[in-house]
Every structure is written in structure tokens, then in C-alpha cells.
């Protein structure tokens, strides 16, 4: 039972991080894009590139961590549910 639960948690963490890798970049782009500009308007960009890269990668890694934790929690719940279901049939 413990082995199955740990395997489900690891698989859930990997799947959660993979899903976050696809969800976080578009969400981050949407969050940082300016709104209310007319179509085709140019924005003068005066940015510090290292700060932008640090911010974006930090947010991506944080999103992957959150996805991994959520996936591991789902795996834990599934493992516990499978363990209690199997135990009740034996009794």
C-alpha cells in the first residue's frame, strides 16, 4: 500500500509539473501584458532584461512547484483511497 501511494504521488507530481509547464507561460504572458491599448499601439520598452528573465523564470518554477504539490496531493488521496478500498474487501 505504501509503495503504491508513493508511486502515485511521484507520478502526480511529475504530471502536475508538466501541466504547469504548459499553463503558466500563457498565464504569465496574459498577466504582464498591458490592457486598454488600441490595436497596433506600440509600447516604449525600457526594461532591464536580467530582471525580466529572473522574474519570468522564477514565476515558471514557482508554478511548476505548485503543480507538483497539487499532483502529489492528488496521488496521495488516490493512494489512500485505493488502500482503504482494498483493505475493506479483505475483512
The CA distance from 1 to 29, in Å, is 42
pTM: 0.73
Q: What is the pLDDT of residues 50-67, one digit of tens each?
A: 888 888 889 889 999 999
The CA distance from 23 to 15, in Å, is 12
Mean pLDDT of 18-39: 78
Burial class (CB in 10 A: 0-12, 13-18, 19+), 19: middle
Per-residue confidence band for 11, with pLDDT thresholds at 50, 70 and 90: very high
pLDDT at 47: 73
Which three cell numbers mark 9?
Answer: 504521488
Cβ contacts of 88-91, under 8 Å, gap ≥ 24 = none
Amino acid at each position: 500500500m505504501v509503495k503504491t501511494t508513493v508511486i502515485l504521488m511521484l507520478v502526480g507530481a511529475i504530471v502536475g509539473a508538466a501541466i504547469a509547464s504548459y499553463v503558466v507561460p500563457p498565464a504569465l504572458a496574459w498577466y504582464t501584458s498591458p490592457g486598454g491599448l488600441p490595436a497596433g499601439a506600440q509600447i516604449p520598452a525600457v526594461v532591464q532584461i536580467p530582471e525580466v528573465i529572473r522574474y519570468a523564470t522564477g514565476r515558471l518554477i514557482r508554478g511548476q512547484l505548485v503543480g507538483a504539490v497539487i499532483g502529489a496531493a492528488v496521488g496521495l488521496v488516490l493512494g489512500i483511497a485505493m488502500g482503504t478500498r482494498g483493505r475493506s474487501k479483505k475483512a
